Amino acid sequence: MSAVEVQIMRLPHGADLPLPAYQSEQAAGLDLLAAVPADAPVLIVPGKWAAIPTGLVIALPPGTEGQVRPRSGLAARHGITVLNAPGTIDADYRGEVQILLVNFGAESFSITRGLRIAQLLIMPVFRAKLSETKKLDETTRGAKGFGSTGQG
């Protein structure tokens, strides 16, 4: 596996939290933690969402993006997921990384300080060079859309 250097800065409200970390040798994503006040957890009721601060600002290298993805355990056990999954952090963004969590579960869920709330993957980005044309090449699938390649 190759590594890319990502500069990271902790904001005052996240200074005591661990930096994002991979949880296993082959993990694809770094776990992001909630930097909510210890005495003021964020309660997300069913059907609602909230922007959760991480207390981090990152500088991604040009040609990369940060993809914010849900944590499978939160989704499977509580119905908590990233609303705009995958969220995108552009390489030129220098604001706080915040995670837009939604509760699709049946019970309210409390986001507490230091809770692992999402995963961050650093991915390469390819910029498109658009070339307008009057006709596209033919394919077997053609214009067949939703559900055209099988059931479900």
Domain ranges of the chain: 7-124
pTM, entire model? 0.89
In CATH terms, the fold of domain 7-124 is Deoxyuridine 5'-Triphosphate Nucleotidohydrolase; Chain A (2.70.40)
**Per-residue pLDDT tens over the stretch 50-95:** 999 999 999 999 999 999 999 999 999 999 999 999 999 999 999 9
Report the percentage of the chain scoring pLDDT > 90.
Answer: 89
Q: Residues 102, 87, 12, CA angle at the centre, nearest 5°?
A: 85
Which of 94-98, 113-117, 136-140 is predicted least confidently? Answer: 136-140
